[in-house]
Structure 1
């Protein structure tokens, strides 16, 4: 199974939120009776079709996250459904995290994905916040002045 970072390979995530996906591939499917024929989805590309098909089962039952590539200390174990194809994760601090899908026997069934989380600096966050608040206050002040001038003229 091909586990991927939805934001793009080797991306640095500027916040503690990221998405992992594992699209369906022909050899990952454990049931063939639910496969969608080429004409069932119209003009959609096969890649989109693979992500949208949610009735095909895969062998992964859990997603494990670790700060070590060897997975000697797993920080998070998340149970997943056999038809699930993506997950959104949040609340991560700065650092490098490794993710991999495992089956019920605790055997890896996907590649290891590396995710580097690097938050924006607090200086940058405060500059943007103060700039937005200043513009908001200027707009409110302008609107209040216009209302009072309009009342005086009436």
Structure 2
């Protein structure tokens, strides 16, 4: 079984109410995916600290309010990975700071359009599907 340090994912809500997703190439499946920002924990890192760091690195915003939503285990068949999911609100523009090997583009869109992309099979990443559907319930 793959030993994983853990990870976080963040559902960022822009000041205009849109989600801020990212589109990035993933080497495993050799395809581009639309995702919520996410990243691995550094050794001994608190998940909340990691969520703040990944949000700023990937989309260039810091969160005035970061709320823990749930934990998920995205690959229980072959990994012990645990992922902490957060909702980021009251975003403040900062500066994007991608890792050297990271290439992504921001993909802002309304929540209802993101739900449509899930229904159309255009968003298939498990953490993103869970996060967007969780957000839909949270907002209703």
TM-score range, shorter chain: under 0.3
Relative contact order, CA 8 A, sep 6+: which one is greater?
A: 2
For normalisation by structure 2, the TM-score amounts to 0.24
Q: Per residue, is there more strand in 1 or in 2? A: 2
For normalisation by structure 1, the TM-score amounts to 0.23
Q: Which has the larger radius of gyration?
A: 1
